[in-house]
Chains A and B, each alone.
Chain A
Amino acid sequence: MKSKPIVLVVEDDRDQSDLVVDIINETGLYQAIPAYDGEHAFSILKGHERGFNFLSNGIACILLDWQMPKMNGEVFIKRLRAEEGGSPFKRHIPIVIFSAYSDKERLQLAKDPTLGLASGYIVKPFEEEELLTLLKRIIIHREAEILREILIEREARWVKELRK
């Protein structure tokens, strides 16, 4: 039997994390694993390395809270991409940022090249449907790379409109 794709939920707020994990597990399509801080997430990722870490990681997608006390989303995402490094052809783990953005934060993120390292973001509080649609597009339809490009373009357009 084929195992379900694993989604790593990196969220420091346990209630929020449980909620997201339940939403994902209830679909029956994926298996969600919670990580309560960045270091914990990295240890889980290490446990899912495949083929001497030459192959793509066993985690299909990471849901990342942007504001965490120990290691914030920006530090996490940069460290992860640096560790993945290596081959430009290798499939990187798709990341969905979720955060309670204010416009100011969103603007900062849109200007930050870090955004280009994620495949999507979800603003808290979010609809269950929104999260599941994004996961479906990333994991089942394998559109992470295209979504990443669209996200960069959309945010650039948004910043441009905001300046007008």
Chain B
Amino acid sequence: MLNGLLTIVLFPLIIVWSVCYGVLGGIFFKLLAVYENWINLNRLQIIQWKRYPLRSYNKFTSAILAHRMKSKPIELIALTNSQIQTEFKREPFPFLVIVVNTLIALVLLPFALLMGAFQGPVFVFRKTWGAWQNILQTGS
């Protein structure tokens, strides 16, 4: 009886808390998430370039070959991987990839923040409501 009454009183408070904290927290954490993902993606590129140069170089030349092949009819392709390797003796620092990653992150950022503003309250509500249900269960 008392628990039911408490739940009725607490429910709107949980809703208000979820909306207030959830929206702000959701936006903030989404901002951090975009930053974290941007760091992770760029770090991966740099680690690959720095510590696995041969592997990274092979990927680089394969990507160039694939790109050039795509834009030509098959019978005109006189390119081979070795030709690409002669043309590009070494792989440059992946500046371009980092710039592209940055642009993608900037384009996605507003959408991510918007998602955070919607998903945040849902997350907080589930967590708080679940905690309240646990208290009720352990109490009874």
Residues of chain A whose beta carbon lies under 8 Å from any beta carbon of chain B: 51-56, 87, 89-91, 141-143, 145-146
Contacts and interface: CB of A to CB of B under 8 A. Distances in A.
Contacts of A146: 44, 47-48, 52, 55
Most buried by B among A52, A90, A142, A146: A52
A52 B52 contact: no
B119 interface: yes
A91 B37 CA distance: 7
B5 to A, nearest CB: 30
A54 B44 contact: no
Interface residues of B, number: 25
Nearest to A149: B55
Interface string B69-112: 00000000000000000000000000000000000000000000
A87 B104 CA distance: 13
Contact of A55 (B22, B36, B55): B36
A7 B124 CA distance: 27
Given A52-B124, A55-B32, A143-B51, A89 B41 contact: yes
Nearest to B44: A145
Contacts of A145: 44
Interface in B19-62: 22, 25-26, 28-30, 32-33, 36-38, 40-41, 43-44, 47-48, 51-52, 55
Nearest to B105: A89
B91 to A, nearest CB: 15
B123 A52 contact: yes
A87 B52 contact: no
Nearest to B116: A54
Given A143-B47, A143-B51, A146-B52, A52 B29 contact: yes
A63 B36 CA distance: 24
B93 to A, nearest CB: 17
Contact of A89 (B29, B37, B47, B116): B37
B13 to A, nearest CB: 20
Interface string B111-140: 000001001100110000000000000000
A141 B50 CA distance: 12
A51, A55, A91 — which one has the most chain B CB atoms within 10 A of its CB?
Answer: A51
Given A54-B32, A143-B47, A146-B48, 8 more contacts: A51-B32, A52-B119, A54-B26, A55-B33, A55-B36, A91-B36, A141-B47, A142-B44
21 contacts: A51-B29, A51-B32, A52-B116, A52-B120, A52-B123, A54-B26, A54-B30, A54-B32, A54-B33, A54-B119, A55-B32, A55-B36, A56-B40, A89-B40, A91-B36, A91-B37, A142-B44, A142-B47, A143-B47, A146-B44, A146-B55
Nearest to B108: A89
